[in-house]
Every structure is written in C-alpha cells, then in structure tokens.
Structure 1
Amino acid sequence: MNILSDFLTFPPLITMGTDALRLLLAFVLGVFIVNIYRWTHAGIPQKSFTDTLIILCMLISVVMVIIGDSIARAFSLVGALSIIRFRTAIQDPRDIGFVFYALAVGMAIGAGNPSVAVLAAFLIGIIILGIYHWHENFSNDNEFSLEFCLPPEPSFKTVYRPVFDRHLIYERLIEKRIRKSGVVELNYRVKLETPQDWLVFFNELSNIESVTDVKLDKE
C-alpha cells in the first residue's frame, strides 16, 4: 500500500524540474553517442538502431529515477520488463557495445550522477574515436566483409565460385544461416587481389541471378 501511495503522490515542482533536466541531459548525451556511432561505423548506420540508442539512454534514466532506493520498486520493474522478448539479432558485437554505452550513461544520469555520465560519455567517445582512427591508419586495404544470399537448392552452392576465383586471394566463411524463407545467408571475410577492383567484384557477384542481398563492407 505504501508503494502505491508513493507512486500516486504528486512530486513538487523542484523535483519535476530536476527530473526534466535529467531527461534533457540523457537526450543530449544520447545524441552524442549516436554521433560517435555514425562517425565510426563502417557503411550506412540503421536509422532505427541510432534512434533506439537515444531512446534507451532516456528510458534507463527514467527507470533509475523510478527505482530510487526502493528494492520493492526494483523487483516490480524487473517483473514488468521480463515480459519483453528481444527477437532482433544484433550481428555486429560493436553494436552491442554501443547499447551498453547508452545504458551506462543513462543509469548514471538516473542515479543522480550527471558528472559521471558526462565524463564517461566523453571519455569513452574519445577512446572509440581513437580506436577507429587507429584501425583506419593500420588496417589492410584489401580486407572486406562480404554477405550474400543463395537459394536453398544444392545446385546453387557454387554459382559464385568463378567470381571468387577471379578476384580473391583469401576467403573464410564466418557464418552460414538459413532464414525462415529457406534462403541461405553466407557471411565471408575476404581479401581482394586488387583492392581498387572492389566495385567490379561487387557488381559481378550481384549480377549473378541466384545471388541476392549482396553487402560488401571494408573491415
């Protein structure tokens, strides 16, 4: 009963103002995290994922404010959130890191430690930028991540081999998955014999009738 009365008690204007500032700070730092992600992401970032990072940062700050020092509220929220099922598979481990990045910053804001949130957001962001530029300067130009799909019939398993043999000096199958539609999805790490011919390689592979959803990203 005390928990219910606590929830129904209208907070003073000062508290509401503080909570509004926390939400605003969570939004600003969420946008900062998204910009770090965009600057360091290989390829075109998914808009839905970048939007989710901002929303997560704000939501977790609200959750931390609601929990406060109440263990009962914490267990109530865990029970309520346990009904959510996350079915979207995050393929890039780096994206998982950014999810925790946003969650950690949001938790710091909601727990009443805005200085920790700001410091962590900027320091982690600077480190991520540094790692990105380090990879840019020392990475091998002919290494690529390749993803494409094939029909499930065995006869299509080798249709891409002539293109591979013409352009690649190295290939390694990273992942093979079968989608619900039955289509086979292949993920390779490859090295091109001539890095400048990446577009030719991409076009030749895409022009094969049975090969679909071709994606080629620089490692």
Structure 2
Amino acid sequence: MSPASVLGRLVVAVLLGAVVAWIYRKTRAEHVATFPATLVLLAVLIAMVTQVIGDSVARAFSLVGALSIVRFRTVVRDTQDTAFVIFAVVVGMACGASDPRVALIGIVVVGVAAFAMKPRGGDHGGQQYTLELRVSSGQVLDGEIAAVIDTFVTGRRLLTIGTARQGIALDGTYSVQLRAGQRPEDLVRALNRLEGIQNVTLAARPVDEPQG
C-alpha cells in the first residue's frame, strides 16, 4: 500500500470523524467538552488499525493482546455517548478498509436518526438535577414537601441533610430526575409556595458528574 493511499484514508477518516463529532454536538445538550475531539481521534486511530491488520488474523489477535494490557479507567456514563463511540469506530473501520461509501451512508442514516430523536426545546424530562432545600427546623422533609417533589420527578434520593443558621433551619439535598413535560421552574415555584420553605435551589447535574 502506497503512502499516498494510507494518507488519503486517514484524511477521509479525519473529515468523516469531524462530521460524527458535529452530529454529536448538535444532538447532545450536555456533554464532556473533550468528547467530540475524542470521537475524531478515535475514527482516525481505528482507520490506522484497520490498515495495519489488513487480512491478517495473526495481526488482529496481536492487537487484541496489546490492547488488553492497557487499562481504560474512563467510564462512558451515558448510553447515547456509547452509541457515538461505536459510530466513530465503524466510520474509522470503513475508512481504513477503503470503503468510505459505507461510512457516508451510515453517517446520513445515523445522523437523521439522532436529529429525529433529539429532545425538543423545553423538554427537560429525564434530566438529572440536584435539589437543595432549606426549611424551618420544625418542618419534616418526608411530608408535604416530599409529596410536592414527587409530582414533578420520577426519582428522588436524599443525598445530605443537616442543620443551618445555628440550628434554626434544616438543609436537605436531593438527587432528582424530572418527569417528561415538567419544567424546573414549576417545581421551584411549587416548593416556594409551601409553608416553612426558606430557600430552593435546583441545579442541572453535569453528564460527567458521579451519581454519589
């Protein structure tokens, strides 16, 4: 294989990998900043690997053995991110095998599917949030407050609880997931209407933040 042919395949992998990264940025509301660049690099690396292996079964097994030595500690926390990793791998394989038609057709089909299933504006369903409450010391978090929270969320987990303002207030922190069609501001307003509520803070949790 000539150097020009190798270079051409890698250049195509870079270009198509960039398209994969662009689709990812446009269809994912929140993501790790370095992940799109990782998708491009992954497509190029897989294209290189595909050319190195060629039709050699021995080389394929050697590569598996070499990669098994490397410890990958980064966990992909979202299933859609995993799908995009596979997307970049397949595009890279197609470029390395000198069959960019498969990559191009796949990009069109997967891109259309990704845009079609992209959450619409204002739909916060499924989004993870951290809810922080400050209530009067005489209030209980499991009573009316919990009932109001549960009307807006599908999951509620108490993370921390403690006293504040020299014991005259109680602070509670929850991990919550909004129901489809519910808006964060509606939950905040509903809680503020309750007696004894002193402060409400609702913050979206980054994708790469541990669940606790």
Q: TM (normalized to structure 1)? A: 0.66
RMSD (Å) for aligned C-alpha atoms? 3.7
Rounded Cα–Cα distance in structure 1 between residues aligned with 2:103 and 2:66: 26
8 Å CA contact retained: 2:131, 2:174 = yes
Q: After TM superposition, what 4+ stretches of structure 1 lie above 4 angstroms from structure 2?
A: 158-168, 174-177, 198-201
Q: Say if 2:38 is the partner of 1:34.
A: no
Q: Which residue of 1 aligns with 2:155?
A: 173
SS of residue in 2 equivalent to 1:169: helix
1:188 matched to 2:163: no
Contact 1:105 1:117 in 2 (8 A): yes
Secondary structure of the 1:47 match is coil
The separation in 2 between residues aligned to 1:64 and 1:26, in whole angstroms, is: 11
Q: CA–CA distance in 2 between the matches of 1:116 and 1:193?
A: 38
CA separation in 2, counterparts of 1:56 and 1:67? 16
Task: Tell me, yes or no, if the aligned pair for 2:156 and 2:177 is still in contact at 8 Å.
Answer: yes
* DSSP 3-state at the match of 2:151: strand
Query: Take 2:18 and 2:120, find their aligned partners in 1: how far apart are those partners?
Result: 24
Task: Report deviation, 1:161.
Answer: 8.3
Q: After superposition, give the CA deviation of every residue in 1:77-133 in whole Å (9 maximum; x if it has no partner).
A: 11111112222222210000000000011011111211111221222112211222x
Aligned CA distance change for structure 1 residues 35 and 163 (closer, same or farther; 3 Å): farther
The TM-score with structure 2 as length reference comes to: 0.68
The residue type paired with residue 136 of structure 1 is R
| Partner of residue 112, structure 1 | 98
- Please tell me the residue identity of whatever aligns with 1:59: L
Shift in alpha-carbon separation, 1:112–1:40, aligned structure 2, 3 A? same
Aligned pair count reads 179
Alpha-carbon distance, 1:28 to partner: 0.6
Deviation at 1:27, TM superposition (A): 0.6
Structure 1 residues 67-82: aligned runs within 5 Å: 67-82=53-68
Higher helix share: 1
Following the alignment from structure 1 to structure 2, what is the Cα–Cα distance between the partners of residues 205 and 42? Answer: 21
Matched, 1:18 2:5: yes
1:88/1:73 CA distance change after superposition, 3 Å: same
1:151-203 Cα distance to aligned partner (Å, 9 max, x none): xxxxxxx87988765565133338899xxxxxxx97532239972716957x8
Which residue number in structure 1 is paired with residue 136 of structure 2?
none
Q: Structure 1 residue 204: deviation in Å?
A: 2.1
- Residues 143 and 190 in structure 1, CA contact (< 8 A), matched pair in contact too: yes
Paired amino acid for 2:176: Y
Instruction: Name stretches of at least 5 consecutive residues in structure 1 with no aligned partner.
Output: 1-10, 151-157, 178-184, 207-212
Match status 1:46 vs 2:32: yes
CA contact (8 A) 1:168 1:190 kept: no
CA distance in structure 2 between the partners assigned to 1:117 and 1:18 by the alignment: 17
